[in-house]
Structure 1
């Protein structure tokens, strides 16, 4: 066990971790709020700019085009330049572009700005979990990351509230909402300046002196003493040299080295399945409810209740991450999601749609609490960011295609056909995790890497 690993695994859950939890969680909340509010803006923009169903679907997908490049870029740059720097730049890009989009005067202008904002949001979302997971011990890592991603639910609920109370309140309500979602990010950007670079990443790059300095700084904030470190590990750390920056080719090869190839395949399929289904549902649900005969007030009200179901979904799964393991949690919640998507396909009256939709929201968000924690563990430190970033990027292919497919296929398949498609995709994801996914519960990050064949 390395010096950083031995120290980190001895740490209690302290005020330092609670601060990380809040800073990272707020980032997820703002990301989700900015993304989710688009679902409430789309019906307004469709009418305002006389958009076709296909054009509306393109607007629903463009942010995820940005997500794809942002997540992939964050993965590559996070392993080369460090997690903290990437996260800071990502947040700044997202805030600036999101704020600018409030002054859009045409479909094309809004399209471009949402792509740029999506680059920042995608990078931010991809880097937070693997970055912060490197600061916590194995005994609470699953709950920590699972609960961290639970902040997504607060962002979605806030977006639904903004949609219900602000978007429909006046003709320019959609612009006001975009300003509201972007401005608080400035505060978070200022707050994050105090964050430390990951000592695990520094150690993986041979920058042992910097890693040891951060470890000492963090431990000085604890109320209790941690066990003394191993002198042999300290000596090995002190003698290390800076390994320099790895090449892109080395990072990508690491994803497909030995048994890691199976893990990478599983992660990509898991993210693709869940993200496709998730954004098919949440991007279009207000619009689909309106096309089922609901008025805008009833549609937004139902959407608000459906979004509220995310909160118990995330946090119940965060607790199960340690009790039944990340793999078990993902399989359980994705299986429930498959069943509820099928129920949604056969729901006809408004009350049945509301119940099935709330249950589907609960299940898919619970699955994400497991997925984020799992993805942050199954890749070695040297390629953790590119592993998580590439998985998230592949998932964004699902996010890009889902709104487009709904826009094109809803006139042919109808409401039931859309959710029948969701059922099949979720079931495929469950099979991938069951057949290919490793167990990670109770293991340090280094132990997991050793089992899967670290590059």
Structure 2
């Protein structure tokens, strides 16, 4: 038995998360900042616009597009760093970029500074999410991969739930409230950057790099932690072949083989049809509700209270992610998203809008969590960060066009037409994902190598 096989078999023996819980939390925080950041500009836009001389809808749409360009650059560029130099190094670089961008957005004195620092923030967020997805996938045994990757994202998606609530209490208090809102995100990023020093490197990445002694130390930490919690170690599992872990070519070239290119194209299509509606929903809802007749505080209430669904959706993904085939669950969630978009567009009473937003938020984070789990399962270890980053990053091309299109459609035809279009896009995403591979409870090396 080769060293690679022996080490992977030891890693796959566990029936639960074998590492300290702090590792799960510190990586899941990537999703916290990702969702917190997506929502900050949309929530704060009306307050910023009144001070910097631009309409809230224009600020939210243009600022989001600029951040998305940064996201795309960061996802592809920094993910290469993670595949070449390690997941920990990649996660460090990305969080520095996010923290600097968010801090200086809060200190901006004109609209052009806001746009520039949103671009820098986007670079950091784009890569951090992709690398975190690859890292969690590689750290978790096959039988519980979906469940514990979902739990990791649950800690992160709390950000989507509390972000609008923070805005509801901070932004209206003073003229500088929106600045405090961005600075809070930056300070949180710096704190997590410090705490992440203690997380282990991905053992699968170490094995791929032939750094067996280091990989043995990391897996030994998992075994020690598991023994302290459970008392005894389970029997070592059996894995047929790990020769595919050898790094024979540049990582990204592995994605363009006959086996993996169809997966790249399919996951790209799925991400395109997810982000094409998700970003307008996340970034524009506060501004569009305000522009359609709701008072600003009422719009914040819809997003703030309805946004509690974000955390609940991530928690539900932890419970259900490994109970059924992943792609079928993802498709169902796409269709629920479509119905929720229609509900928001109908513009009912305040209570009805809160409920529709709550359902949209819940199904959105449930869906996003499953997509990050599923996308990482499609690609080989030597190119996993690149695979997730390439498909997820290029997927962000869609909202570069759909955000301003949604804003323009709202101006031309009203709230319902804008959200009806988002519903159609979500339904198409559900159809595409049904064409994907089966992955639930299968070992990564069997699925993707």
SS at match of 1:67: helix
Alpha-carbon spacing, 1:232–1:40, altered in 2? closer, same or farther (3 Å): closer
Aligned in 2, Cα 1:322/1:12: closer, same or farther, shift over 3 Å? closer
Change (3 A) 1:256 1:26: same
Contact 1:337 1:363 in 2 (8 A): yes
1:340 corresponds to which residue?
A: 340
Match of 1:48 in 2: 51
Matches within 5 A, 1:45-444: 45-52=48-55, 53-222=57-226, 223=228, 224-226=231-233, 246-247=249-250, 251-435=251-435, 437-444=436-443
Tell me, yes or no, if structure 1 residue 9 matches structure 2 residue 12: yes
Aligned length: 442
Stretch moving more, 114-123 or 217-226: 217-226
Q: Report the CA distance between 1:438 and its aligned residue.
A: 0.5
**Structure 1 Cα separation of the partners of residues 40 and 247 of structure 2:** 44
1:394-420 deviations in Å (ceiling 9; x for gaps): 222233333222233321132111111
Shift of 1:347: 4.1
Give the one of 19, 23, 26 matched to 2:26: 23
| Aligned equivalents of 2:344, 2:447: Cα separation in 1 | 38
* Larger mean Cα displacement after TM superposition, 376-385 or 339-348: 339-348
CA distance in 2, matches of 1:21, 1:325: 23
Is the contact made by 2:9 and 2:239 (CA closer than 8 Å) also made in structure 1? no
Return the offset for 1:379: 0.8
CA distance in 2, matches of 1:231, 1:303: 48
Query: Cα distance, 1:76 vs. partner?
Result: 2.0
After superposition, the C-alpha distances for 1:85-132 in whole angstroms (9 at most, x for unaligned) are 000111112112211221100111111111111111111111112112
Cα distance change of structure 1 residues 67 and 185 upon mapping to structure 2, 3 Å threshold: same
The SS at the match of 2:140 is coil
How far apart, in 2, do the equivalents of 1:30 and 1:138 lie? 27
TM-score (norm 2): 0.91
Shift of 1:443: 0.7
| Structure 1: tracts of 5 or more residues without a match | none
Q: CA deviation at 1:232?
A: 12
- Asked whether the equivalents of residues 126 and 389 of structure 1 are also in contact (C-alpha less than 8 Å), the reply is yes
1:54-91 deviation per Cα after TM superposition (whole angstroms, max 9, x unaligned): 45421132222211111112322221221110001111
Shift of 1:15: 6.3
Q: Cα distance, 1:14 vs. partner?
A: 5.1
Going from structure 1 to structure 2, the CA distance change for 1:180 and 1:187 (only over 3 Å counts) comes to same
| CA spacing shift, 1:91–1:321, aligned 2, 3 Å | same
Q: 5+ residue gaps in structure 2? A: none
- Alpha-carbon separation, structure 1, partners of 2:396 and 2:19: 32
> Separation in 1 of the partners of 2:362 and 2:68?
22
State the Cα distance separating 1:311 from its structure 2 match. 2.1
- Alpha-carbon distance, 1:305 to partner: 1.7
- Structure 1 residues 447 and 242, CA, compared in 2 at 3 Å: closer, same or farther? closer
Task: Check whether the contact 2:12–2:237 (CA below 8 A) recurs between aligned residues.
Answer: no
> 1:298 Cα shift?
1.1
Following superposition, the deviation at residue 34 of structure 1 comes to: 2.8
Distance in 1 between residues matched to 2:397 and 2:112, nearest whole Å: 21
TM-score between both structures, scaled by the size of structure 1: 0.90
1:287-313 CA deviation, whole Å, 9 max, x = no partner? 111112111111111111221112222
In structure 2, distance between residues paired with 1:162 and 1:232: 47
Structure 1 residue 183 displacement after superposition:
0.8
Question: Using the alignment, how far apart are the partners of 2:101 and 2:346 within structure 1?
Answer: 40
| Deviation for aligned residue 1:283 | 0.5
Cα deviation for residue 430 of structure 1 reads 1.0
Matched position secondary structure for 1:16? coil
CA distance in 2, matches of 1:297, 1:230: 56
